[in-house]
Amino acid sequence: MTVHSQGAMTDAPQDAPQKSAGRPERSASPTGPGPKSPRGGRKSLPSEWLPYLLVGPAVLALATLLLYPLIKNVILSFQDINKIEFIQRKYPFAGFSNYTELIGDADFWTVVVRSFAFTAANVVLIMVLGSLIGILLNRLGKKMRLVLSMALVMAWAMPIVASVQVFKWLFDEQFGVMNWVMRTAGFAGYEQHNWMQTGLSTLTIVTVLVVWGSIPFVALNMYAGLTTVGAELYEAARMDGANGWQTFWKIVFPNLKPFFLITTFLEVIWVFKAFTQVYAMNKGGPDRGSEILPVFAYVEGQSQAHYGLAAAISVLTILILVVVMSFYFRLILKQEEEQ
């Protein structure tokens, strides 16, 4: 309540802000106070950059360790480099001559067919036996499951070179266990029998080695997948009178189809590039009869000193594997879309 000079009283709010003389009135921002700048006046990086910064070191490491050697190998495949050129450090450009020589070489296609047959035999045995052992793990008691799981892990963890030496001792011509077993069983002709006298017999022994070392991965993953299948599904199958095979085909396989697809995909890649087992067993012999594509490339490059040709073999190996696996990869993507 204020009183004017004429004596009239008028109502006015007591808490009205007083305007200071000579100062213009500042209007308040409708959005409130602005954001405070970071300490020191530095601007923060956009949040969308964070994923790239986190992935960046891994991408850089992969580019250094994988991409650069791959590019150098592709360049080398277009050069004619043998022992003399390597010593003289001359790298003449050869165009597609290395590739045309390989495509017209019957030995190369023999190795290609052998590599596919070796891969197919190994993958089928690994998936079948690994799946059966995985089902066995699911049905065993706790103690026996623990014992079998430990045995599988020990086989899986054994270094490849050490396992090759064990198998070479088992099939040794003079002191091998297999010759002793065959003689003890009454079979004739196993006095100092050479189990690796042909390329086929050598690859058969390598197949046993590869399957033995790869089964644990499939079996343990199969057992892990089976634990996700509900017990009520098995009970329903039993009530419907389904036998073991029908239960697997109608219950287990549909629920674990992604597992079978991914595991088979990985096994094809791992077996196709199984270099250590084949080379350490008999160096691709006898008479280069057990060579698969990775061993064929190594022998051509290191033993024969045909470095450009070996690079072309490795490039063609990658292309063949990519073409074959592209169809399988499309099947995996289709399965994911259906889910």
- Structural contact between residues 207 and 292, judged by C-beta atoms closer than 8 angstroms: no
With cut-offs at 50, 70 and 90, classify the pLDDT of residue 19. very low
Q: Quote the pLDDT of residue 7.
A: 43
With cut-offs at 50, 70 and 90, classify the pLDDT of residue 42. low
With cut-offs at 50, 70 and 90, classify the pLDDT of residue 10. very low
Q: Quote the pLDDT of residue 111.
A: 93
pLDDT digits (tens, 9 = 90+) for 230-284: 777 777 878 877 787 888 888 888 888 888 888 888 899 899 988 999 999 988 8
Q: Quote the pLDDT of residue 339.
A: 63
pLDDT digits (tens, 9 = 90+) for 197-206: 999 999 999 9
Sequence-distant (6+) residues with CB within 8 A of 39 are: none
Mean pLDDT of 11-30: 47
Q: Quote the pLDDT of residue 2.
A: 46
More confident of the two residues 131 and 21: 131
More confident of the two residues 104 and 15: 104
- Structural contact between residues 140 and 150, judged by C-beta atoms closer than 8 angstroms: no
Q: Give the 3-state secondary structure of the chain.
A: CEECCCCCEECCCCCCCCCCCCCCCCCCCCCCCCCCCCHHHCCCCCHHHHHHHHHHHHHHHHHHHHHHHHHHHHHHHCECCCHHHHHHCCCCECCCHHHHHHHCCHHHHHHHHHHHHHHHHHHHHHHHHHHHHHHHHHHCCHHHHHHHHHHHHHHHHCCHHHHHHHHHHHCCCCCCHHHHHHHHCCCCCCCCCCCCCCHHHHHHHHHHHHHHHHHHHHHHHHHHHHCCCCHHHHHHHHHCCCCHHHHHHHHHHHHCHHHHHHHHHHHHHHHHCCCHHHHHHHCCCCCCCCCCHHHHHHHHHHHCCCHHHHHHHHHHHHHHHHHHHHHHHHHHHHHHHHC
Q: Which residues pair with 10 in a beta bridge?
A: 2
Mean pLDDT of 137-164: 91
Mean per-residue pLDDT of the chain = 82
Mean pLDDT of 168-188: 89
C-alpha–C-alpha distance, residues 107 and 114, integer Å: 10
**pLDDT value at 22 more than 50:** no
- Structural contact between residues 193 and 173, judged by C-beta atoms closer than 8 angstroms: yes
Question: Which stretch of 31-35, 99-103, 314-318 has the lowest confidence by average pLDDT?
Answer: 31-35
Q: Quote the pLDDT of residue 164.
A: 93
More confident of the two residues 84 and 106: 106
CA 314 to chain centre: 18
**Which residue's structure tokens are 């594509």?**
293
